[in-house]
């Protein structure tokens, strides 16, 4: 099984699918799943963009990509999606339209739910076990949405922070299963990089369930893969899908998980030369 993982897209959702399709062609492989670690920029309408997204969009309109390419069918998106059989499973970050996603999650009643017109992008509710495949090759995934709040301050219901019902879901998960294979989140564990930064619930989940991998973004740090404090999990901070000063995408903004079974698997941070072709001005035409 081949699983491609992205972190912060900030609207560059079509770019991610284009890179996935190019990877299939270059490697002669078939992708079984794409995972995305939040801050997709899932705003269905420009009217709901937050201030940070609007500010960034003034100098780079690719930040508007979800509303532009995934709320109504269009030729560029249709063309690339027709070449990919897989879905994208994602968690929420702090830069999303949470009212829009809350409504879809309520209607889904606990299942993963599509958020785009093509029904190819599915959001994972916090703490709900997801499985892809069957038998020995099956892979199990749990998502944790949103971000933690600094200094143990009360979030006052702000939608970008983990919600009480989501923390309850994680407690219920402990009663339902001991181990799963992948934890997907936007935030990192509390104090992972900086004091009081991160989400305590992530650390609790890692300590109890001990997944093989934890993929996350959000922090602004470059790619890093380290062994978690639980002594078992490989915690992987993936670089943001954003152009650097030289107009190229950074190394390690894509990670490929090669999964045979629970005994045979490894990750590969991608630095293929062709990735640098996808510049700010050229990506849409490749």
Containing 269, the helix (H) or strand (E) segment is strand 265-269
Instruction: Look at residue 113 and tell me whether its pLDDT is greater than 90.
Output: yes
Instruction: Enter the tokens of residue 190.
Output: 């509390």
When pLDDT is cut at 50, 70 and 90, the band that residue 238 belongs to is very high
Helices 164-176, 200-209: axis angle to 10 degrees equals 10
Residue-wise DSSP of 180-239? -SEEEESS-BTTSSSTT-SBHHHHHHHHHH--SEEEE--S----EEEE-TTSS-EEEEPP
Which domains can be identified in the chain, with CATH numbers? 2-285 (3.60.21.10)
pTM of the model: 0.96
Q: What are the pLDDT digits (tens) for 35-48?
A: 999 999 999 998 88
Is-contact 42 100, C-beta < 8 A? yes
When pLDDT is cut at 50, 70 and 90, the band that residue 127 belongs to is very high
Strands 2-6 and 255-259, bridge-based pairing: antiparallel
Instruction: Enter the tokens of residue 47.
Output: 């009217």
Strand partners, 226: 235
């Amino acid at each position: 099984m081949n699983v491609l993982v992205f972190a912060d897209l900030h609207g560059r959702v079509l770019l991610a699918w284009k890179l996935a399709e190019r990877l299939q062609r270059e490697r002669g492989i078939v992708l079984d799943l794409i995972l995305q670690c939040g801050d997709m920029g899932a705003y269905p309408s420009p009217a709901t963009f937050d201030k940070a997204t609007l500010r960034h969009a003034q100098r780079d309109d690719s930040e508007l990509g979800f509303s532009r390419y995934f709320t109504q069918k269009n030729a560029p998106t249709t063309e690339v999606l027709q070449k990919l059989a897989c879905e994208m499973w994602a968690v929420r970050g702090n830069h999303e339209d949470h009212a829009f996603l809350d409504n879809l999650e309520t209607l889904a009643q606990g299942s993963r739910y599509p958020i785009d017109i093509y029904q190819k992008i599915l959001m994972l509710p916090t703490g709900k076990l997801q499985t892809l495949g069957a038998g020995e090759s099956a892979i199990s995934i749990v998502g944790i949405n949103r971000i933690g709040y600094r200094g143990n301050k009360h979030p006052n219901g702000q939608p970008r922070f983990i919600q009480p019902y989501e923390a309850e879901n994680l407690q219920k998960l402990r009663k339902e299963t001991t181990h799963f294979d992948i934890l997907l989140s936007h935030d990192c564990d509390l104090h992972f990089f900086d004091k009081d930064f991160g989400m305590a619930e992530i650390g609790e989940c890692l300590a109890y369930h001990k997944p093989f991998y934890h993929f996350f973004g959000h922090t602004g740090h470059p790619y890093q893969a380290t062994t978690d404090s639980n002594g078992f999990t490989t915690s992987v901070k993936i670089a943001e899908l954003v152009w650097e000063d030289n107009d190229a995408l950074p190394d390690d903004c894509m990670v490929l998980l090669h999964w045979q079974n629970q005994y045979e698997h490894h990750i590969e941070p991608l630095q293929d030369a062709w990735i640098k072709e996808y510049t700010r001005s050229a990506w849409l035409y490749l």
